[in-house]
Amino acid sequence: MNDRLKFAAFGGGLVVLFGAALGIGALVGDRSGAASAETADHSQHDTAAPTGLQDSRSGYTLGEISAPATPDQQGALRFRITGPQGTVTQYDNLHDKDLHLIVVRSDASQFRHVHPTRAADGTWSLDWKWAAPGSYRVFADFSPTGGPGELVLSRTVAVAGNVTDKPLPPVSRTADVDGYRVTLAGDLDTAGSELTFTITRDGKPVTDLQPYLGAYAHLVALRATDLAYLHVHPEGEVGKTAPGPGVAFHAQAPSDGAYRLYLDFQHGGTVHTAEFTDETSTAAPASGAPARHGGGHS
C-alpha cells in the first residue's frame, strides 16, 4: 500500500473510510504526468494516470470546463460528465450530495469545496468568480447510477493574469478561522498515525458542531508535490458520537513529504475551513528546522 494515502475518520469506535466500497483511492503522481494524462487516449487512463489526477476512468469522462477567464469576471462554471451511454444524468447520493466539487490552485492555495446544481440535460453549473490568477485543478467526486461506484476525476483550468505562486505555509499546530481556533495533534507518518483536530471558540471548546454533509467534520488532504487528492469523513455517526470539540482521523502517508490539510466543519449555521500544513514525521523540513518525530508539536 505504499502508493496510497489512506485517511480513516473514526468516532465512537467505528472506523469509516470515504469511498470504502471501492477501497481507498489516494492519488500519487506528478503534475507533468497529470497534464499528459488529460490529453492521452482515454482508453489508457485507467493504467497510465494516477487516480483522481485524470479526466477519464472506467468509461466515464469529465468534460471540458467552461469558466470565467480572469479573476475579475463574474460568470458560471459549467461541465458535463459522460459515460458509456452518453451524458450522465443520474447519480447516486454520495454523502448528502450527487457531486462534490473541490477546486484548488496548483500551489495548494484558494481551496474551495462546493456543490453545483445539475440541469435536466446533465450539465453541472454554479455561479463562479476566481479569487486570483493561476492554474487550478478541479476535482469532481461522484458516483454515477449504474456505474462502478465512486469516481474522482479532474481537469486543470488556467485563469489569466500575473501569477505569483505562494510558498507552502510552514508546519503549524494551530489554525485560526472566523474566530475559531483549531488545534492539530499528531503528525503524518508512513507507518500510520492519528491526527486529532480540536475546535475552540473564545478559548472554550465547541461541543455542538452541526452536521455538514452527514458528518461533524470532513478532511481533504492534498500532497504538496502533485495535489494528490483524498476526501474523508466519518459516516453514520451524527447523533451517536459527541459533536466536538475533537475529531480524529487515522492517517498513513505513502511517502515522506509535505501535505496540505483542509478541515471543514459547521457551527452557527456556517461552514468553516481550517487549513494546515503537515509533513511526515521522518521528512526533513523544507525550512531547515530540526526534523520532527511522530507526535511532535511546534
Residue 143 has a pLDDT of 97
Q: Confidence band (pLDDT; 50, 70, 90) for 222? A: confident
Whether residue 298 is predicted with pLDDT greater than 70 in this model: the reply is no
Which of residues 66 and 214 earns the better pLDDT score?
66
Whether residue 60 is predicted with pLDDT greater than 90 in this model: the reply is yes
Query: For residue 267, which of 175, 172, 181 has the smallest C-alpha distance?
Result: 181
Rounded Cα gap, residues 182 and 178, in angstroms? 11
Here the cell at position 247 is 475529531
Q: Which of 46-60, 94-108, 140-154 has the lowest mean pLDDT?
A: 46-60
pTM: 0.78
Instruction: Give the up-direction half-sphere exposure of residue 117: CA atoms within 13 A in the CB hemisphere.
Output: 6
| Cis, peptide link before residue 245, omega less than 30° from 0 | yes
Which of residues 220 and 50 earns the better pLDDT score?
220
Average pLDDT of span 24-30: 31
Rounded Cα gap, residues 259 and 228, in angstroms? 9
Residue 194 has a pLDDT of 82
- Mean of pLDDT over the chain: 80
For 140-188, give the DSSP string. Answer: EEE-BTTSSS-EEEEEEEEE-S---PPPPPPP-SEEEETTEEEEEES--
Whether residue 41 is predicted with pLDDT greater than 90 in this model: the reply is no
Q: Confidence band (pLDDT; 50, 70, 90) for 4? A: very low
Whether residue 104 is predicted with pLDDT greater than 80 in this model: the reply is yes
Which of residues 168 and 282 earns the better pLDDT score?
168
Residue 232 has a pLDDT of 66
Which of residues 67 and 253 earns the better pLDDT score?
67
- Residues 6 or more apart from 187 whose CB is under 8 A from it? 193, 195, 278, 279, 280, 281, 292, 293, 294, 295, 296
Query: For residue 107, which of 266, 222, 275 has the smallest C-alpha distance?
Result: 222
For residues 138 and 65, the answer to whether their CB atoms sit within 8 Å is: yes
What amino acid is encoded at 65 in this protein?
A: I
Average pLDDT of span 173-192: 91
Rounded Cα gap, residues 15 and 24, in angstroms? 13
